[in-house]
Every structure is written in C-alpha cells, then in structure tokens.
A and B are shown apart, each in its own frame.
Chain A
Amino acid sequence: MKKTGSQIVVECLKKEGVDTLFYYPGGAVLPLFDELISSPFRQILVRHEQAAVHAADGYARASGKVGVVLVTSGPGATNTVTGIATAYMDSIPVVILTGQIPTYLIGNDAFQEADIIGITRPCTKHNYLVKEIKDLSRIIKEAFYIARSGRPGPVLIDLPKDILVGSTEFKYPEKISIRGYRPTLEGHLGQIQRAVHLILKSKKPVFYVGGGIISANASKELFQFAETLSIPVTMTLMGLGGFPGNHPLSLGMLGMHGTYHANMAVMESDLLIAVGARFDDRVTGKLESFAPQAKVIHIDIDPTSISKNVRVDLPIVGDCKHILLKMISLIEKEDFSSFKEGLHKWHRQIENWKSIYTMSYQQEQSIKPQYVIEKIDELTKGEAILTTEVGQNQMWAAQYYKYLKPRTFLTSGGLGTMGYGLPAAIGAQVAFPNRLVIGISGDGSFQMNSQELATAVQYRLPIKVAILNNGYLGMVRQWQEFFYGKRYAASSLEGHSPDFVKLAEAYGAIGLRATKPEEVVPILKKAFSLPEPVVIDFVVDPEENVYPMVPAGEPLNQMRLV
C-alpha cells in the first residue's frame, strides 16, 4: 500500500517499539505532526528543543530504551545541538528527527534552513539526510539500530518536507546490513583467558567501572564477579549505580572528587580492571603518574577508547556483559581460594585508608548542601531516580547518595551540561510514572532550562526539584577560591536570581523553601508525598566546597581534603 513519508515515519517508529516522543513543532514538520494526532505515541511538548533532547536522554538512561525527539528545521534543529552533544559524550541512545526545507530548496538559504547534518556530524554517532523517499524506512531502521547497538549514541535524521508529503509503496525492511558497521560483541577468547590469569595472579586488584557497565546492563555480572573474588570496585561518575554503593566492596567514586580510599587504591593497585570506562582526565588526574604499578586490563566495546590515554596491557574489545560472563565461567573452573586469601592484606590496607579519611562536612547553623543529599538518601533508601545539574550540586549528589541500582543516577558526565537535570528528570518520570524522580539542582543551572516546569505541570509529572541554592555558580567560585586568589569574577548570583518558590508557583507547580537544617527532613517528606511537581529552594551555606579535590592535572593521590 502507498503511504506518505509522514505515515512511513509513524509506521517505522511503531515497528521500533517507540512509545514516547519529546517534541516541538514548526513549519517544516507540520505534515508529520498532523499524522501524529492519530498515532498511539505518548507525546510530550517541551518548551525548548534542547530540553527535548535532554528529556529523551533522561528517558533513555532511566529505561534503557531509545529516546526519540522530533523538532522543526532551522532554529528547532540548531537548538538541539547541546542536547545531542550531551548524549554523544555519554553514549546515550537517542534518535533525533529534524524537519528540513524541501530537497529542491536545500542550499538556497531558504527560510529556516540550517545544515544540521554538517553541524551535528561531530556530535552524532551517525546522521542521515533523507534525499529520496524510497530510502526513508531503511534509514529509520538503521538509525535505531546504530543508536542502540555497539557503543550507543545519538543518531539524527533530517527529513525534508517534500519527503514527508511525498508517497511511496511502504515496505518495512526486515533485515539490516551495514557493511561498515559491525560492532564486536564477543571478546577474544584468548585475551579473556589471559585476563583471568592476570587477575588470579594479582595481589592488589581494583575494578574501575564506567558508564559502559550501565549501558551494557552488566551490573549483575559485575556484582557476581566482584563478590566471587572479593575484588573492590570503584566507579566513575557515569558508572555510579553500576555496583551498589552500600556494598562493602564498593570504594565509591574515583577521580577529581572521588573518595580518598578509591583514589589511593587505584594509585597503589597492581591490577586495574577497567570495564566500560575511558580514562577521562577527570578520572586519571596527571596521566604520567596514574596507577604507576598497575597492569591494566581494559574491556570496552569501542576500540577507540582503548590505549587512547593510558597504555593498556590487555585490551578486550566487546560487550562487557558477554565478557564478564565468560570470565566468570572461566574463574569458576579455577581454584581461587588462595587468591582470595591473598587479598586480605589489600582489604586491610583499604580499610586503613577509609579510617584515615572519610568524606564529611561541618554541621552549622545554615543548611549544608551535603546534608540535604544525605537526607534524601535516607528518606528514599536509594530507591529514587536522581538527576543532577552541573557543578557542586552534581558532585555532592554523586558523593552523598548511595546508588544501589543502575539507571538511578542520571547526570551529564562527559559534556557537563548545565540545564540537563530538569528536562532529564522529566524524561525519567515519563519513563517511570510511578517512581520517585528527584532533580538535584543548582541556582545557576536551574535557570538554564527552568521553562520546563511548564512541561512538568502540563503532563502532571510529579518530579521533585531540590535546588541547592548557594547564591553562586558554586563550582566556578570554588575554583576561583582555590586557584584565582578568591577573585569571584562573574560567579555570584546572590540577590539576582528569581524567587524560586514564586517561580514554581507561577508555572503552577508547588514551591517550598527551607532555610534551617531542621526544616530539611519535614520539607522533603512533604514534597515526596505530594502528587504534583515540586520545587524546593534549599538556601544553603554559600561557600561550602566539594572535597576531596584533586586539582586538574595533579596526580590522583594529591587530594585536598579540607
């Protein structure tokens, strides 16, 4: 049967199992919006296209499904760029459909024309301009496949208007064959065996796991592996939730604001087992002095991640889940009791580091931001989904909440995008209408996408936004305090932010405020019990800092502790 381009898009999305769209309309995509009226998808109208992508990204991180975005040409498309780059840096599967002016006008500087293919080439896993309607269904199928397979990432499809209104015989392609794209899933068996031997020979091993453990849904395998051999686990910001934060083997986060014992353990280890992590500079500190005695096993689906920053002794390219499973089955055939015995000393050493320094803060008259996170942790018992903005709020959310399960901590790690947290919380709440979703926010970041409160209210999404309002672009201020002689250029917002309670109310959400420590718990309880979106303005100590801190470019064991 003949179908229009718009109908084909809808049919293909259904075939891909899409249930939700985050979108914003405009002239070039009206034919498709017209078709969507009678489609079965849940449709969320955001208030800015950047937020559409963050919301789809939050939906994808929380659910593991591909997030889908639809926007118009020109400014609609260019507004998505930060969202796309955010998803790209963190390897999040999102498909972005952009309207485009008709093919016969492309290149003429027509109204609302933007070369979004050219603009997003470096920040998408792949992108497509549909030039002929006969290619449309194949392209959509490929886009979803590319977005979710291998190392996941955003894929953009540019849809010229004449393609949407044109028509053709619709046939959904059953098979995919992309000769230039065949991700390796199974790791090399010889390498896996060698890795197992290296592990069983080590005395001071550490698992260093990143976002790959979450995108590969490999937490269960990691857990089994770590427990079987009693190997401690440290996580990157992206890896939090990949291993339960309350488990005795968990060292917490490593890196610039990692725990003392995690950083010490990595620096002293004789074997680093990196899984789905990419040795980012925020993790390694000064590269030349990173984990000097350690041999490195690196398991990653993306060959370009391997030996990019750090020399790797034993690379294994493939899906972490497959590889960990294989390793476990090999280990179970070995006698590892003496290996485990041998680790006692290592565990004692780690306990010793823990006793030297644990993360803490001084309780005072004012509310401490860390206290807010701690109380959220206690009240939700690690069961909530948290999103964050960027800055100190993000680091405290990483440090003081114990993530127990994967896909419960959604944060812009790679790009560090302020404005991510609120729309991401919306996306997560859309994916899980009945779960508690909390957006940890900063007074600066909140204002980068606060318009999305309207979206939350419109769709009755009961997200809870906890603004840690320190009156500063706090992380910037912290760097200025440490490294720029306390010259606070452009980092104070004190007295120049809106009244967040009134702002929430103006949008039809509920606004609450806490100024004293004893108000924190009652206000959180109240917020969690309300069925509406709530914004809580926590007026916190303005000059609190995030500790520990490894100054950029310093070795990982050079931590400022107070």
Chain B
Amino acid sequence: MRHVITLLVENEFGVLARIASLFSGRGFNIECLSVAETLDPTVSTMTIVTRGDDQIIEQVLKQLNKLIPVIKVVDLIDKDFVEREMVLVKVSATEKTREEILRITDIFRGKVIDVGSKTYTIEVTGDEKKIDALLSLLKPLGIKELVRTGRVAMARGSKAITELT
C-alpha cells in the first residue's frame, strides 16, 4: 500500500543522504521525495512517498525516527490530508494542436509559461490523479519533455505537523 510520510528534519548537511541511504540499505522503496526549508531555517520538511505492507511501513517509520537528525515522523495515511505536485510539460505545438493544448491547459487550470516556435511549456499543479489525467491527454499531442516535483503533503485541519500525534 502507498504511504505518504512527512518528516521534520534538522536542516543540516547530510540529512538527505542519511535518509536515502536508510531506504537503499534496508531495501525500502522510495517513490518520490521532496525537501525544503520551513519557516524555521534550522528545520526542513520532507515528504516521502513509499510503498509496503504494514510490517515494512512500521519499520520504515521506526527506522526514520531512529535517525538522530529526524525530529518528527508522521504517516499521513492515518489522517485526512491534501497532497499536490507540480508538473512542467513541454508539448509540441502545431497549427492543428495549439488550440487543443490551450483548452486542456485551461480545463486543468494550468498556465502556459513559455512559448517556443514549435512548443508550449505548461505548468499544472494538482494531486497525482489530476497530473496523470493531464499527461494522458497531452501524450497523443507529443510531449517533448516533462518534469514533476514529487509530492508535498499536509494534514487537513488546523493542526501543524508539530502538533500531530
């Protein structure tokens, strides 16, 4: 089963390497990972998407907690949460497809952020399903390049991760 885990970690050298090496060393899989500083510059937040049965996920959570620079670990699967990722797509744009691309972009509440002589580059934000749906529509039109950020996630409601248990 897919789990979205958010963590607070010390914003210091080598933390990402520690986490990555924990996953590779113990054979846990990592689907995507994103890191960024929080309001407090000494702390970063990480979102990790991983898969595994209950026993594996229990180990993943415990092993993450065991790392010294990891301050807090929350498995969002037990919570109601929102998740988003952003994608940049460079699509071939011809006389025939320009209109179609703009329409699709519009429906997905995306933006065209760059126009080349033969391409549009569009930006769309959403959850995994929305991004996948967008890509499946754009694919037949010719995707030249695509970059996804990986997911960021947050529990719904007024509690911050520091207050969650």
Contact = CB atoms under 8 A, between A and B. Distances in A.
Contact of B67 (A117, A129, A180, A302): A180
A85 to B, nearest CB: 12
B116 interface: no
Interface stretch (B8-16, B99-107, B122-130): B8-16
Contacts of A131: 13
Contact of A180 (B62, B63, B71): B71
Interface in B50-77: 55, 58-59, 62-63, 65-71
B92 to A, nearest CB: 41
Given A122-B25, A179-B71, A308-B59, A303 B13 contact: no
B62 A304 contact: yes
A149 B66 CA distance: 13
Nearest to A142: B68
* Central interface residue in B21, B63, B68, by most chain A CB within 10 Å: B68
A181 interface: yes
A307 B68 contact: no
Nearest to B22: A122
Nearest to B62: A304
B17 interface: yes
Given A304-B62, A308-B59, A121 B21 contact: yes
A304 B59 contact: yes
Nearest to A305: B62
Interface residues of B, number: 20
A538 to B, nearest CB: 40
A311 to B, nearest CB: 9
Contact of B66 (A117, A118, A302): A302
A33 B55 CA distance: 49
B5 to A, nearest CB: 15
A347 interface: no
Nearest to A179: B71
B84 interface: no
Contacts of A125: 68
B3 interface: no
A146 B65 CA distance: 15
Given A178-B68, A179-B71, A307 B17 contact: no
Contact of B21 (A122, A178, A307): A122
Interface in A30-69: none
Interface string A113-141: 00001100110011001010000000000
B18 interface: yes
Given A121-B21, A308-B59, A129 B13 contact: yes
Task: Summarize B's interface: helix, strand, loop or mixed.
Answer: helix
A523 to B, nearest CB: 47
Interface in B1-42: 9-10, 13-14, 17-18, 21, 25
Given A121-B21, A122-B21, A304-B59, A181 B68 contact: yes
Contacts of B25: 122
A352 B63 CA distance: 43
Nearest to A311: B55
A126 to B, nearest CB: 5
* Central interface residue in A129, A302, A304, by most chain B CB within 10 Å: A304
Contacts of B69: 180
Contacts of B18: 121
A368 B126 CA distance: 73
A360 to B, nearest CB: 41
A303 B65 contact: yes
A178 B69 CA distance: 8
A179 B72 CA distance: 9
A180 B59 contact: no
Given A304-B59, A304-B63, A118 B17 contact: yes
B152 to A, nearest CB: 21
A482 B116 CA distance: 71
B58 A307 contact: yes
Contacts of B10: 179-180
B65 to A, nearest CB: 7
A288 B71 CA distance: 35
A478 to B, nearest CB: 30
Contacts of B14: 117, 121, 129
Nearest to A178: B68
A304 B66 contact: yes
Please name the 8 residue pairs, one residue from A and one from B, whose CB atoms are nearest each other, closest first. A304-B62, A180-B71, A126-B68, A181-B68, A303-B62, A122-B25, A180-B70, A179-B71
Given A122-B25, A131-B13, A146-B68, 20 more contacts: A118-B17, A121-B18, A121-B21, A122-B21, A125-B68, A126-B68, A129-B13, A129-B14, A179-B10, A179-B71, A180-B10, A180-B68, A180-B71, A302-B66, A303-B62, A303-B65, A304-B59, A304-B62, A307-B55, A308-B59
9 contacts: A118-B17, A121-B14, A131-B13, A146-B68, A180-B10, A180-B70, A302-B66, A307-B55, A307-B58
Interface of B: 9-10, 13-14, 17-18, 21, 25, 55, 58-59, 62-63, 65-71
